[in-house]
Amino acid sequence: MYEFIDGEFIEKTPAHVIVKAGPLAYHIHISLFTYSQISKMTGGLLYLHFLVREDAQIFFGFSSREEREIFRLLISVSGVGANTARLILSSLSPDEVIQSILAGNVAVLQGIKGIGAKSAQRIIVDLKDKVGKGAGIDEIFISKDNTSREEALSALVALGFQKKTVEKILTRILSEQPELSVEEVVKAALKFM
């Protein structure tokens, strides 16, 4: 129904972006990978997936068609919802997701919160023949920001994690490695969840 949106980024966090296109502004859920691609941009194009539920109509935005296609493949697997697919794409780059599926690497997928052994195996079995080799995924752009802790906290809470748990993990990560970017902090925290 919706292919893409091209507009000004009014607000960006690791979990969502607000895009002003014409007289309207749209709240669009994004993955950490997409955030890393757009973090230094003031505007641009995001490919959309529109999800309609009984209680909500939700936009998911992606920096590339490839990432959107992987998202759509993931949500086609029984037991994998849109938020789980977004969490997978926040923990792994689209290229890493493809490589894990092609290699049958259950451990990598199982290392993501909410993905158990059966779900990881189902993802691999259902998608191994569907994912193409050589899906070109651009390199992640890393951004430094003084509010790394706050943005990482906001992103992880938006992904459904308990605030107190996240705060403890962030304190530990940032005390050991204070120079990490928001993306690196969130990825490190996801490993402890």
Question: What pLDDT is recorded for position 132?
Answer: 55
Q: Are 26 and 6 in contact (CB under 8 A)?
A: no
| Gap between the Cα atoms of 114 and 77, Å rounded | 14
pLDDT tens per residue, the chain (193 residues)?
Answer: 799 999 999 999 999 999 999 999 999 999 999 999 999 999 999 999 999 999 999 999 999 999 999 999 999 999 899 999 999 999 999 989 998 998 888 999 998 888 888 999 999 999 988 885 433 333 323 333 346 788 888 888 888 888 888 888 888 888 888 888 888 888 888 888 7
Question: What pLDDT is recorded for position 186?
Answer: 86
Structure tokens that stand for 118 in this block: 């059966």
Q: What domains can you pick out in the chain, each with its CATH number? A: 4-62 (2.40.50.140), 66-127 (1.10.150.20), 148-192 (1.10.8.10)
Own/partner pairs, 101-106, CB within 8 angstroms, 24+ separation: 101/127, 101/128, 101/131, 102/128, 102/131, 102/133, 104/128
| Gap between the Cα atoms of 121 and 108, Å rounded | 11
79: left (phi over 0), alpha (psi -120 to 50) or beta: left
Residue with tokens 């992880």: 156
pTM above 0.95, yes or no: no
182-192 vs 148-158: helix crossing angle, rounded to 10: 50
